[in-house]
Structure 1
Amino acid sequence: MQLVVARIGRAHGIKGEVTVEVRTDEPELRLGPGAVLTTDPASAGPLTIETGRVHSGRLLLRFEGVRDRTAAEALRNTLLIADVDPAELPEEPDEYYDHQLMDLDVVLADGTEVGRITEITHLPSQDLFIVERPDGSEVMIPFVEQIVTEIDLQEQRAVIDPPPGLIDDRAEIASARDEETDASQEPGTGSQNTGDAG
């Protein structure tokens, strides 16, 4: 199975290094020196990683045969693709590879359909599921245990417990409920019962 593990960004310096946008949870495994990666477009590769280092929070790579800024800049926006055994699992039991999570159905705890995971974005602080709703719109769901309560690979689904406002229709339900509450708290207009005269 082939997985996109990074996208090459700008050239860095004059000796052939490039910045990369990491798209894997295991950059030290997938993007280490000696790794041979196929590319999209295919004409740019395969590329063998010669060195890697972190600079100002970004991963910099140098590839064999890429020796100057011009050659590095020519690789910009190239996708780096690793061959991964589909049966391979991460070491930690509560971790998943992107390919395991793609296309999972996203549902609420009561089974209400939310959509389907179409993309996973890796941010410095957390990962995000990009979920396509049945109507074609998209919603972003942070992949944190407070929100994503269960990943069931057998059933091919992710169960979520989103806070109010994360998913549009839940925000509408909450605001409608607030209006009902406000209406029930308005002072009554009928006459008050004063009790029987004794």
Structure 2
Amino acid sequence: MSQQPRPSLDELLLVGQITTPFGVHGQLNLHTITNRPEHLRRVSTVFVGENLTPYKLKRAAPHKSSVHIIALAGIDNRDAAETMRGQEVYIRQTDAAPLDEDEYYLHDLPGLRVETVDGTTIGTVKEVLETGANEVLVVTRPEGGEALIPMIKDVVKRL
């Protein structure tokens, strides 16, 4: 797969992390972190680890809640699968399943202006924290400092 240029991290979408081998033939447990696991059915190539090494995705099948079993070309036995443990798995953003009108990617939020419902500027989204219960916007305020805004319907009315 070396003939494909390696994309930059900005061009990729994180879909999960390899947790453990599955079986003895090189299959892998992938803990998915996306609400759209159909992303994995749309791609033929995934990018793995810090070096974003491209692998042909031979198979991706749902296994349990938030877990898919994947098979990658060149990972054919349990020993090879063990070397993949803990690696993050990415796909090209252009290969991702289309979003519905009211959906968004968290990585698209930094840089957006934050306003109250009456139009008063609160600041600009610096980053999004994933806390487990809900995401939290870290907003840089124009007068200095930061505000933390929980992304819940009672607080964030629209994006």
TM class, shorter-chain normalised? 0.5 to 0.7
Greater RCO between the two (CA within 8 Å, min separation 6)? 2
Who is 1:82 aligned against? 91
Give the letter for the 2:64 counterpart.
S
- After superposition, residues 1-198 of structure 1 pair within 5 angstroms as 1-29=11-39, 31-32=40-41, 35-42=44-51, 45-57=53-65, 58-85=67-94, 90-110=98-118, 111=120, 113=122, 116=125, 118-119=127-128, 121=130, 128-134=134-140, 135=145, 139=148, 141-142=150-151, 145-151=153-159
Cα distance change of structure 1 residues 34 and 102 upon mapping to structure 2, 3 Å threshold? same
Who is 1:185 aligned against? none
**TM-score between the two structures when normalised by the length of structure 2:** 0.66
Larger Rg: 1
Structure 1 unaligned segments of length 5 or more: list them. 152-198
CA contact (8 A) 1:5 1:22 kept: yes
Give the letter for the 2:25 counterpart.
K
Alpha-carbon distance in structure 1 between the residues aligned to 2:60 and 2:26: 12
- Count of aligned residue pairs for this structure pair: 143
Question: Identity over aligned residues, as a percent?
Answer: 20
1:74: Cα distance to partner? 0.9
Alpha-carbon distance in structure 2 between the residues aligned to 1:106 and 1:71: 47
1:60: Cα distance to partner? 1.9
1:34: Cα distance to partner? 5.2
Cα distance change of structure 1 residues 148 and 20 upon mapping to structure 2, 3 Å threshold? farther
Q: Secondary structure at the match of 1:46?
A: strand
Higher helix proportion (structure 1 or 2): 1
**TM-score between the two structures when normalised by the length of structure 1:** 0.56
Higher strand proportion (structure 1 or 2): 2
1:150: Cα distance to partner? 0.9
1:103: Cα distance to partner? 3.8
Who is 1:167 aligned against? none
Who is 1:172 aligned against? none
Who is 2:4 aligned against? none
